[in-house]
Amino acid sequence: MLARLLLFLWMALALAAGFLWAPAVVGLEETTRVLYLHIPSAWIAVLALTWSAVHSALYLRTRRIGHDDHAAAGAGLGVLFCIAATVSGSVWARARWGAWWNWDPRETTIVLLLLVYGAYLALRGAIEGEERRARLAAVYAVLAFATVPFLVFVVPRLYDTLHPSPIVPQAGGAGTMHPRVWICFLAALAGFTGLFFWMESLDVRLRRRERSAAAERAARP
């Protein structure tokens, strides 16, 4: 419980400091504040999808159903944080570019990523039988993960984009972004990471509980 309360305070302080204590980045002005929500969400999306792919590969290797639980939880949270990154990015785009959606390469690739992992969730929901579902979903997750580096890191850099990723590293490459912005950004990143692992553990525990309840039901005469 203490760890949960610490996480709550940590995130609340990181957010408050980001809005009240850290200055705005030159070129982004007050929209800098999205930095403390949007980038951590995108980071967790990549972390969660990597987590899902690693556990899918481990499932295919060991056939332990626990790995399938972790893979499913990771993919679900990956989609959730992907949506959070998309929504926060869209709000930022409205403020900076004047439109909620512009089909910028970054926006297009995140939609493709959502479609790829939306299909993963649909696949899991469509297959009967625990072992079969786990096996097919694991194969799909490993193949789907091959798209993640391309859609997140490669494709957006191949095309001209309005997305400010080149601005932030320039302004804030190690030495130039204000130290307070760095502190708040890294604190938010750490807080989101803690939140991800908490949510992931809850999801896995819920899946285990559902499985044992189903087994108990099946064992009843």
CB contact set of 208 (below 8 Å; sequence gap of 6+): 66, 69
| Separation between Cα atoms, residue 68 and residue 132, nearest integer Å | 11
The minimum distance between CB 116 and other proteins, in angstroms, equals 26
Among residues 123 and 194, whose Cβ is nearest to other proteins? 194
Among residues 146 and 202, whose Cβ is nearest to other proteins? 202
Among residues 58 and 199, whose Cβ is nearest to other proteins? 199
| Separation between Cα atoms, residue 176 and residue 25, nearest integer Å | 10
The minimum distance between CB 193 and other proteins, in angstroms, equals 15
The minimum distance between CB 194 and other proteins, in angstroms, equals 12
Tell me the Cα Rg of the chain: 20
Residues of the shown chain interacting with other proteins in the complex, contacts defined by CB under 8 A: 4, 7-8, 11-12, 15-16, 19-20, 30, 33, 37, 198-199, 202, 205-206, 209, 213
Q: Is the sign of the CA dihedral 95, 153, 58, 117 positive or negative? A: positive
Among residues 16 and 143, whose Cβ is nearest to other proteins? 16
| Separation between Cα atoms, residue 31 and residue 15, nearest integer Å | 14
The minimum distance between CB 19 and other proteins, in angstroms, equals 4
